[in-house]
Amino acid sequence: MMCEIINIPVINTVPSTADILRAQGISKNEVPNRKTVVLIDETIQRLMNTIRPVGILLGISKDDFAVIYEGEGMNEPQAPLGRIFGFGDDLAIFIVTLGESVSREISDHFNNKDLALASMLDSAASEAAEMAAANIESHYRSYLKRIGRLDVSTGIMRFSPGYCGWHIGAQKKLFDFLKPHQIGVALNDSLLMQPLKSISGVIVSGRKEIFNFDDSFSFCADCITHSCQDRIKAIYEKEQFN
């Protein structure tokens, strides 16, 4: 069963200007002024100088993942992942981080009352962490293709504790399996990861139709982005086999 530590090229995790503006709540139809453009350029440069994206990826059986998924027994009964992973063909758990330096940089700017740069760098780093997780997902897709476990009927989607009804308490057992101290990630008493710009979860591979679910569950009301629907749509729109 695969187990890898993956160093991700920084350039693969640098968000676009449009992504940073969106994360800052600025409409794509709004033309940024010169001051904002300069701030974005500085943000991207500081981001590239401080992030060190790395992830750990571990293939896992359904039985072992069932233990992780159950966590502390506090999942929502209708959480989609509880159904999806049982129908999946292959599963892998992961943790990815940007490292501690960028978090310190953000804190320093907040402490120094440089709020515009601090806020924009914080948003950019969150986008970069998502891109790092997408890189891990892409790496797993390439692995499955290489070993003949991926074809045109296959979809791949990742899920993280704390979202879509999967309780954050699953972090404890996820960490027990992955032992992410190898990449410098720890779990605090509040179940938050340190460094903060880190993402954990599971990647499920299986027939595309198993991923179909809507966002009308009661717990969906707490979600701001409803990004699950975009990711489900992407499974069908892009050829994940490539």
What was the pLDDT predicted at 238? 59
State pTM to two decimals.
Answer: 0.94
In a domain, 223, yes or no: yes
Q: Pick the closest to residue 109 from 127, 98, 123, 97 (CA basis).
A: 123
With bands split at pLDDT 50, 70 and 90, how would you rate the model's confidence at 39?
very high
Residue 233 is part of a domain; what is its CATH number?
Answer: 3.40.109
In a domain, 88, yes or no: yes
With bands split at pLDDT 50, 70 and 90, how would you rate the model's confidence at 30?
confident
Give the list of residues 6+ apart from residue 2 with CB closer than 8 angstroms, or none. 57, 58, 59, 92, 143
Q: Which token pair is 198? A: 């880190």
Number of structural domains the chain divides into: 1
Residue 229 predicted with pLDDT over 70: yes
For 162-204, how does the pLDDT look when each residue is reduced to its tens digit (9 = 90+)? Answer: 999 999 999 999 999 999 999 999 999 999 999 999 999 999 9
In a domain, 12, yes or no: no
In a domain, 136, yes or no: yes
In a domain, 193, yes or no: yes
In a domain, 34, yes or no: no
**H-helix segments, the chain:** 17-23, 34-50, 62-70, 80-87, 100-111, 115-146, 171-178, 227-237
Q: What is the dihedral of CA 37, 38, 40, 46, to 10 degrees?
A: 170
With tokens 């809507």, the residue in question is 214
What was the pLDDT predicted at 151? 93
Query: Distance (Å, rounded) from C-alpha 190 to C-alpha 192?
Result: 5
Residue 109 predicted with pLDDT over 90: yes
What was the pLDDT predicted at 69? 98
For 64-102, how does the pLDDT look when each residue is reduced to its tens digit (9 = 90+)? Answer: 999 999 999 999 999 999 999 999 999 999 999 999 999
Q: Which domain holds residue 169?
A: 3-7+53-100+128-237
In a domain, 44, yes or no: no
Q: Are 205 and 149 in contact (CB under 8 A)?
A: yes
What was the pLDDT predicted at 240? 54
Pairing relation of β-strands 90-97 and 154-159? unpaired
In a domain, 141, yes or no: yes
Burial group, residue 20, by CB count within 10 angstroms (0-12, 13-18, 19+) = buried
